[in-house]
Amino acid sequence: MKKLLLISFLLISTFLKGQDISFSQFDLNMLYLNPALAGFEQDFRILTARRNQWVGIVEKFNSNIIEFNLSKNIKKRRISGGEINWTGGIYFIEDRANKVFKSYNIGIVPWTFHFQLPKNMYISMGLQNTLRFNSLDWNQLVFSDQINDYNDNVIPSNVELPAIYSQNSFLDPSFGFIITKHSNLNKKSSKTSFIGFAWHHLYPPIQSFYNDQSNVSRIPQKFTFHGQFISGFNDVITQAFNFWKVSYKHTIQGSNAIQKDDVGLSLSLANSIQLEGGVFYRVSRMIKEHSEKASLMSESIIPMIRIRIGIGNNLGMELSYSYDYNISRLYNINTVATNEIALNIYYFKSKQRMCPAQGKWGNNRKWQNVMLNRKGYGMKHKKNRWNW
């Protein structure tokens, strides 16, 4: 019978009190990052991603997410003011730290409002609640009083197990907002920038299987600051590239040491396939021995590649892959790699609509080459499918 040592249980406890799941491709603008991102890019979107962390370690850290976005216009644009769009969404996360601990989260975004302001600006605000379902297989644990120094026999433990082997919470609210600015909307070299803030775990849920540990086992509150800048290329400069993008994210959760900064740069080619490539760089904090101050530590370099293709008359598919090359004290030879793959399915309505990320439909840099065939690379088939 396969058993895990007590150290595994300690690692689980540390994991529970530590950080939330962190996805490398944060520029995909997930609901999980900020509830204000619901409907931020387009009307309808289905996203799924899988993160396989530290494949060189026996105990795998696997995380899977799938999310859905919906949108509806509740106020049309008039002379007196801009549009107001309601959007909502839901996501499911499966997180497995090893064979012992399993966690399932359901994030519900009941409303996110996008307000169009003067001077090509938008403000987005969203609210979210997360349902958490955690379970622990106590039969797979070996406690310290079961360890025999003389042989491999495992004796019964005197540890008092909890009455309930699962831990659930139904109240975990989060809030977020985003401010977006567009410039030169009628030019190919137009620019789009936004900054956002998200406050997760407004009411920190308990992460304990014992009733007497509520004060020390709550999930720490998390604060996320993120932003993005996208700019096109003027045809006078080059016609080989479609746009370039800079993304940034700062996350702090719990103690001063649990902070991370992610910055990424990507470039999109303007050819027969919408190919985007880039790299991310992650910096975390580390508290040295006999010191209370946290110092910066390079954590990983993350190359990324992404492709967008049309799969129907109003459908687009975006497939991306990233590889975390660890440069921290864990060393890449120990962790081997962290692989992350994501799949986005977009549905574009025939009627043009405003959205904070793209402004007008004609300024959608990500999809205009693919779905609208503006550069003459795609050829529409009789069955309304796109061939390359």
**Taking Cα atoms as reference points, which of 174, 266, 254 lies closest to residue 218?**
254
Give the per-residue pLDDT at 256.
Answer: 65
Give the per-residue pLDDT at 207.
Answer: 75
User: Is 93:107 a contact under the CB 8 Å cutoff?
Assistant: yes
Give the per-residue pLDDT at 6.
Answer: 41
Domain count, the chain: 1
Rounded CA separation 154/1 (Å): 11
Q: Residue 120 domain-assigned?
A: yes
For 26, the token pair is: 């944060």
- List the domain range (segments joined by +) for residue 191: 6-235+341-387
Rounded CA separation 144/123 (Å): 54
Q: Residue 175 domain-assigned?
A: yes
Q: Residue 281 domain-assigned?
A: no
User: Is 347:45 a contact under the CB 8 Å cutoff?
Assistant: yes
Expressed in percent and rounded to 5, the helix, strand and coil fractions of the chain are 10, 50, 40
Whole-prediction pTM value?
0.82
User: Is 349:117 a contact under the CB 8 Å cutoff?
Assistant: no
Q: What is the mean pLDDT of residues 13-31?
A: 75
Q: Residue 347 domain-assigned?
A: yes
User: Is 322:24 a contact under the CB 8 Å cutoff?
Assistant: yes
Rounded CA separation 208/378 (Å): 55
Q: Residue 381 domain-assigned?
A: yes
Q: What is the mean pLDDT of residues 300-321?
A: 89
| Digit-coded pLDDT (tens) for 91-116 | 999 987 777 778 899 999 998 988 88
* Average pLDDT score, the chain: 78
Residue 230, classed as helix, strand or coil, is strand
Q: Residue 284 domain-assigned?
A: no
| Digit-coded pLDDT (tens) for 102-153 | 889 999 999 898 888 887 889 999 999 999 998 887 777 777 777 777 777 7
Q: Residue 320 domain-assigned?
A: no
Phi first, then psi: give them for residue 210, nearest 5 degrees: -120, 145
Helices (H), the chain: 6-17, 332-335, 368-371
Q: Which residue did the predictor score with more confidence, 63 or 206?
A: 63
Q: From the CA atom positions of the chain, what is the Rg in Å?
A: 23
Rounded CA separation 8/10 (Å): 5
For 22, the token pair is: 């962190």
| Digit-coded pLDDT (tens) for 182-234 | 886 555 567 889 999 999 999 988 877 765 555 557 888 999 999 999 988 76
Strand partners, 196: 178, 226
Q: Residue 101 domain-assigned?
A: yes
Question: What count of other Cβ atoms lies within 10 Å of the Cβ of residue 240?
Answer: 10
